Amino acid sequence: MTRHPAPAEREKALDLILRLCKTAAAEEVRLGDAHGRILRRDVKADRDAPPFDRAAMDGYAVRSRDFEAPSARLRVVAEIPAGILYKGRIRSGLCARIMTGAPMPAGADAVVPVEESEPGRDGTVSLLPSEIRPGVFVHRRGADIRKGRPAIAAGAVIGGIHSAALASFGAARVKVSPPVRVNVLTTGSEVVPPSAVPGPQQIRNANGPGLMSFLARFPWVRARSAGTAGDDRDILASALGKALRKCDVLAVTGGVSAGRYDFVPAVLESLGVKKVFHGVALRPGRPLWFGTGEGGTLVFGLPGNPVSVFAASRIFMLPALRKIAGAVPAVPPLLRLPIGIRHEKFHSLEEARIASLADGPHGTTAVMPIEYSGSADFVAALQSDGLMMHPADKKVLKPGAMVDFMPW
């Protein structure tokens, strides 16, 4: 009789995976090509930010000590737009019209917003500031960061605000990771394309498109579909052999359990892929198979049911992809939240229960486990926001108990 292999605990299985991940060599690209890539070298500020005292409002640059009374009438001696350095000095009784972002003139230490002014006809302006003291509406030099200080740490995914900061610090070219190449192969003789009209014994390929879409959320991943393969040793050997080429990670869905037609582990090993473990003490996801191919390719044999595919991908494969790409941290942090309702499990394994987030008492966010009919129930999973981790040693979680929550 075929038996399931002794499962590894989730933490130990993930540790084994991460130990075998090699972070890819970095490459240098133009800043315009770096969006969505993972930064591989710390970037320091090449100048103070802001590089000078600048106006934070459109208004008038003034000496705050000219306002011994609640208001003042001052002579306007200049207009200073952004990008212009005024070479004069603001002395007692004088002020300068100034625009947001313009350098503060010497002698001025505050800005009165234009809304609190009333220009006169003789080159003067009456000012009635709601607040006046040194530094009001002035963005001081170096207030954001000083020259030479670390600005962006390696491991960050470069988004819009990162690109803005990199540009500000003169990083016209940056060191980034190359995209992680992932091939996705769906197995199962019962699987037909989404466009097909399935027979009574067939199902449409949900895992392939679903996993491709999941991976598409990470712009530093380049996923490619390797198609489908039936439950036949020769067919699988051909399909897996092709899918193992030109990738950093191969994700195979289905064919990894203990059934008579679950040939994927044996075929992978016949192709030179070395098994690291088979089975995890987790539900769903217990049949997970993991190994390494030639050149360090990581191979994930994922269970065949959709919820299991996404649970195993989120828990085990995503940290591996992040480590290959140099993301920090490799393992995305968990949220620690209270459970909103009682939840009971009827097995001894750790459970990754699909769950949603809802408003809890006193302004908190609560985790709401979702009832579903099994790991093939992708309809119930549509309502989920992620996975709630129910510990192996706790049969019942009562409302208010703190749990780990893993957003999709």
> Identity (one letter) of the amino acid at 9?
E
Out of 1.10.3720.10, 3.40.50.740, 2.40.340.10, 2.40.240.10, which CATH number does the structure's domain 335-407 have?
Answer: 2.40.340.10
Chain segment 5-58, per-residue pLDDT in tens: 567 799 999 999 999 999 999 999 999 999 999 999 999 999 999 999 999 999
- The answer on pLDDT for 2 being more than 80 is no
Using alpha carbons, select from 256, 255, 249 the residue that is nearest to residue 299. Answer: 249
| Residue 81, CA distances (Å) to 60, 104, 105, 318 in order | 11, 10, 11, 49
- The answer on pLDDT for 102 being more than 90 is yes
* Cα distance between residue 108 and residue 392, in whole Å: 66
| Residue 268, CA distances (Å) to 175, 212, 261 in order | 35, 21, 14
* Cα distance between residue 109 and residue 135, in whole Å: 6
Instruction: Find the helix or strand (DSSP H, E) in which 19 lies.
Output: helix 10-19
Q: What is the pTM of this model?
A: 0.88
Chain segment 328-363, per-residue pLDDT in tens: 999 999 999 999 999 999 999 999 999 999 998 888
pLDDT bin (cut points 50, 70, 90) of residue 140 is very high
- The answer on pLDDT for 401 being more than 70 is yes
The confidence score (pLDDT) of residue 203 equals 84
- The answer on pLDDT for 75 being more than 60 is yes
Domain boundaries, the chain: 10-24+178-325, 27-49+144-176, 54-139, 335-407
Chain segment 237-278, per-residue pLDDT in tens: 999 999 999 999 999 999 998 888 899 999 999 999 999 999
Chain segment 216-243, per-residue pLDDT in tens: 999 999 999 999 999 999 999 999 999 9
The confidence score (pLDDT) of residue 8 equals 77
Residues in a beta bridge with 174: 29
- The answer on pLDDT for 152 being more than 50 is yes
Can 54-139 and 335-407 be said to share one CATH topology? no
The confidence score (pLDDT) of residue 25 equals 96
Q: What is the CATH number of domain 10-24+178-325?
A: 3.40.980.10
Q: Does domain 27-49+144-176 have CATH number 3.90.105.10?
A: yes
Out of 1.25.40.10, 3.40.50.740, 3.40.109.10, 2.170.190.11, which CATH number does the structure's domain 54-139 have?
Answer: 2.170.190.11
Task: Report percent pLDDT > 70 for the chain.
Answer: 98
Tracing tokens 């995890």 back to the chain, one arrives at 280
Q: How many residues does the chain have?
A: 408
| Mean pLDDT calculated for residue range 308-312 | 95
Chain segment 116-131, per-residue pLDDT in tens: 999 998 999 999 999 9
